[in-house]
C-alpha cells in the first residue's frame, strides 16, 4: 500500500523526502482552512485597492508600476510566461516531486494567498505522478523552476506521465481538471519562495543520513584490514572532545570492531595509526554535526513563510507585507557547509582506499591482487576515487558567495540557495561512488588476509553480504560493473550497527 503523508502544520524533511520518492500527499482540514483564509485576504486587498507587490503592481524593478484590477489576471499569467526561461536537462522525478512538495508546504502556511484550487491542482499532479518537465538550470534562485511548474497548471508547458511527455493541457486532463485561470497574486506566488532549494535540501539530508552510516561501516572495515589500534576509539579517550557526532561514530566503530581477532593480533604493533584511520570519529563525527545543523536549518525553512509579499490579518482588516523572506541566505550557507562536509567524507575515504592498495603501508599484495604485474587489481579504482574527490573539491566552492545583480539593480543581492542545494546532490553522488569503491576494496583485502585472519562479527557480516553480491576481483571483468553492483547493493540494504 502506498504511503500517504498528511500535511497539517508543516512537513518535516523526512516527509518531503518520502513524497519525493513516491508517497502521496494530502492536506488536513486545518491546512485547507489556512489556504482559503489567505485567499480571502488577497480578495479583500484587491477589492479595496490596497497596494501590494505583485498583486496590483509589477514585479522586480517594475514594483512601482500600478496594475489596474482588470489586468491583474493577465499579470499573473504573464509572470509565468516570462519567468519560464530555464535551460538544460530536466530535473529528475525525485527532485521535481521534492520541489512540488515543498511548494505545497509553503502555500499551506496560508500567507501566500493562492486559492485552494491552485494547491489542489499541484497535489493532483503530484499524486498522479504527472510531473512538470522542469529545466534544471538558468535560475539564480527559484523563479524559472517555479514558473515552469506553474505553466502546467494553466495548460502550457509539458509534463511526464508514465514515461511519456505530454502537454500541460493533457496533464490537466489526466488529473481531471481544466487548465486554471490565475487570479491576482497567484502568478507571483507560484514562482516565489524557497521551495526549490528546500525540496532539494530535504533530498540531500535523506541521502546523507544513509551514506553517513555506510561511511562509518566502510571505515571500520578498512581500519580492521589495516590493523588499526582500536584504543584510539575508546570512550574514555574520545570523551575528552565534545561532539555528539564524534561520540556516535566512536560508539559505532567500537560496535563493528568489537572482539575482532584481526585487531587483537595487531594490538600494540604501532604507537598510532595514520590520520585517515585514527581521525575517523573526528571527520565523520564533524560531518554528522554539520548534518544536524542542516536539519535544524531546513526544519526552520519548512516551518517558515518564504513568500513575498505575505498576507496577514483578515478580510475585514487585510494586511500585505513586503519583505525578503524569499531570500534563502540561511539555507544557502547551510547547504554550502553541508557540501564541504560531504566532500571531506569522500576525501578521507579515498585516503583509506589508497592505504589499502599500497603495499608499502598495507602489508597486503600490491593493489589487492595476488598476481600483481599481470593483474592491476584496484590500482585504477583508486584513480577513480581521486578523480571524484577532485571533482567534489570544485563543486564544494561556496555558491552563497557568487553574488550577482539582476532586475535593474532592484535585486542586487543574491544568495544562490538553489544552486547550493543542487550541487550537494552531485557531491553526494560522488561520495556514494567513493564509499562503494572502499567497500569493494575492503572486501578484497579480507580475501587476501586468508582464513587465518578472522574479522569481527559486525564487519564480517557485511563482508559476507558483499561477497554474495559481488565476487572477488581478478581482472576478469570491467571493474566499472562492480561499481554499479555495489551501488545497487547499497541502495537495497539498509544498514545499522547490527547489520541485520
Q: pLDDT over 90 for what percent of the chain?
A: 76
Model confidence pLDDT, tens digit, residues 158-213: 999 999 999 999 999 999 999 999 999 999 999 998 999 999 999 999 999 999 99
**Cα of 218 vs its chain's centroid, Å:** 21
pLDDT of 407 > 70? The answer is no
pLDDT tier, 499 (very low <50, low <70, confident <90, very high otherwise): very low
Which residues neighbour 70 within 8 Å (Cβ) at sequence distance 6 or greater? none
pLDDT of residue 387: 98
10-62 pLDDT, tens digit each: 999 999 999 999 999 999 999 999 999 999 999 999 999 888 888 888 776 67
* CA–CA separation, 26 and 36 (whole Å): 16
Distance, in Å, from the CA atom of 123 to the CA atom of 130, rounded to the nearest integer, reads 10
Average pLDDT, rounded, for the chain: 92
Average pLDDT over residues 271-277: 93
Give residue-wise pLDDT tens across range 312-341.
999 999 999 988 788 888 999 999 999 999
Q: Read off the pTM.
A: 0.94
3-class SS string, 298-347: HHHHHCCCCCCCEEEEECCEEEEECCCCCCCHHHHHHHHHHHHHHHHHHH
| 3-state DSSP percent of the chain in helix, strand and coil, to 5 | 60, 10, 30
pLDDT at residue 111 is higher than 80: yes
> Which CATH number applies to 200-492: 3.40.50.450, 1.20.200.10, 3.40.50.300, 3.90.70.10?
1.20.200.10
Class of domain 4-192: mainly alpha
What is the band of 498 on the pLDDT scale with cuts at 50, 70, 90?
Answer: very low
Domain ranges of the chain: 4-192, 200-492
Give pLDDT, residue 57: 83
Mean predicted confidence (pLDDT) in 447-473:
92
Helix (H) or strand (E) run with residue 449 in it: helix 417-449
- Please report which confidence band the pLDDT of residue 141 belongs to, taking 50, 70 and 90 as the band edges: low
CA gap 436, 403 in Å, rounded: 36
Rounded mean pLDDT of 225-251? Answer: 96
What does the CA dihedral 171, 177, 182, 185 come to, rounded to 10 degrees? -90
pLDDT of residue 406: 64
- Model confidence over 367-399: pLDDT tens digits? 899 887 788 989 999 999 999 999 999 999 998
Q: How far apart are alpha carbons 380 and 460 in whole angstroms?
A: 26
> Cell 557531491 sits at which residue?
427
> 289-317, pLDDT tens digit by residue?
999 999 999 999 999 999 989 999 999 99
The whole-number pLDDT of residue 425 equals 97
Amino acid at each position: 500500500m502506498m504511503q500517504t503523508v498528511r500535511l497539517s502544520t508543516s512537513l518535516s524533511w523526512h516527509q518531503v523526502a518520502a513524497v519525493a520518492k513516491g508517497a502521496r500527499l494530502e492536506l488536513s482540514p486545518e491546512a485547507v482552512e489556512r489556504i482559503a483564509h489567505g485567499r480571502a485576504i488577497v480578495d479583500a486587498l484587491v477589492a479595496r485597492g490596497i497596494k501590494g507587490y505583485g498583486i496590483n503592481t509589477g514585479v522586480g524593478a517594475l514594483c512601482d508600476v500600478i496594475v489596474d484590477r482588470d489586468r491583474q489576471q493577465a499579470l499573473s499569467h504573464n509572470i509565468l510566461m516570462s519567468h519560464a526561461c530555464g535551460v538544460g536537462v530536466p530535473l529528475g522525478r525525485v527532485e521535481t516531486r521534492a520541489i512540488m512538495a515543498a511548494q505545497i508546504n509553503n502555500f499551506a502556511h496560508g500567507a501566500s494567498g493562492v486559492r485552494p484550487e491552485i494547491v489542489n491542482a499541484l497535489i493532483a499532479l503530484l499524486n498522479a505522478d504527472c510531473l512538470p518537465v522542469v529545466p534544471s538550470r538558468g535560475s539564480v534562485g527559484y523563479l524559472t523552476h517555479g514558473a515552469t511548474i506553474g505553466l502546467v497548471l494553466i495548460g502550457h508547458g509539458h509534463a511526464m506521465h508514465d514515461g511519456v511527455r505530454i502537454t500541460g493541457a493533457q496533464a490537466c486532463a489526466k488529473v481531471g481538471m481544466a487548465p486554471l485561470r490565475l487570479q491576482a497574486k497567484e502568478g507571483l506566488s507560484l514562482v516565489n519562495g524557497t521551495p526549490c532549494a528546500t525540496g532539494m535540501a530535504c533530498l540531500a539530508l535523506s541521502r546523507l543520513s544513509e551514506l553517513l552510516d555506510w561511511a562509518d561501516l566502510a571505515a571500520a572495515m578498512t581500519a580492521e584490514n589495516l590493523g588499526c589500534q582500536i584504543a584510539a576509539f575508546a570512550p574514555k579517550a574520545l570523551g575528552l572532545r565534545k561532539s555528539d557526532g564524534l561520540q556516535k561514530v566512536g560508539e559505532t566503530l567500537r560496535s563493528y570492531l568489537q572482539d575482532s581477532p584481526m585487531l587483537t593480533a595487531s594490538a600494540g604493533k604501532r604507537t598510532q595509526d595514520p590520520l585517515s584511520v585514527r581521525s575517523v570519529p573526528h571527520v565523520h563525527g564533524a560531518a554528522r554535526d554539520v548534518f544536524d545543523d542542516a536539519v535544524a536549518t531546513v526544519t526552520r525553512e519548512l516551518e517558515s513563510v518564504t513568500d513575498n509579499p505575505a498576507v496577514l490579518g483578515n478580510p475585514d482588516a487585510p494586511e500585505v507585507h513586503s519583505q525578503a523572506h524569499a531570500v534563502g541566505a540561511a539555507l544557502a550557507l547551510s547547504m554550502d557547509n553541508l557540501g564541504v562536509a560531504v566532500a571531506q567524507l569522500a576525501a578521507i575515504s579515498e585516503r583509506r582506499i589508497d592505504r589499502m592498495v599500497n603495499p608499502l603501508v598495507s602489508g597486503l599484495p600490491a593493489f589487492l591482487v595476488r598476481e600483481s604485474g599481470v593483474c592491476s587489481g584496484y590500482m585504477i579504482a583508486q584513480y577513480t576515487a581521486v578523480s571524484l574527490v577532485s571533482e567534489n573539491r570544485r563543486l564544494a566552492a561556496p555558491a552563497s558567495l557568487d553574488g550577482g545583480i539582476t532586475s535593474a539593480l532592484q535585486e542586487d543581492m543574491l544568495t544562490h540557495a538553489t544552486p547550493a542545494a543542487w550541487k550537494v546532490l552531485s557531491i553526494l553522488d560522488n561520495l556514494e561512488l567513493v564509499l562503494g569503491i572502499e567497500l569493494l576494496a575492503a572486501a578484497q583485502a579480507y580475501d587476501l588476509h586468508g582464513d587465518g585472519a578472522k574479522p569481527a562479527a559486525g564487519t564480517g557480516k557485511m563482508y559476507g553480504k558483499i561477497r554474495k553480491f559481488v565476487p572477488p576481483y581478478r581482472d576478469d571483468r570491467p571493474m566499472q560493473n562492480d561499481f554499479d553492483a555495489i551501488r545497487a547493493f547499497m541502495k537495497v540494504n539498509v544498514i545499522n550497527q547490527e547489520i541485520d
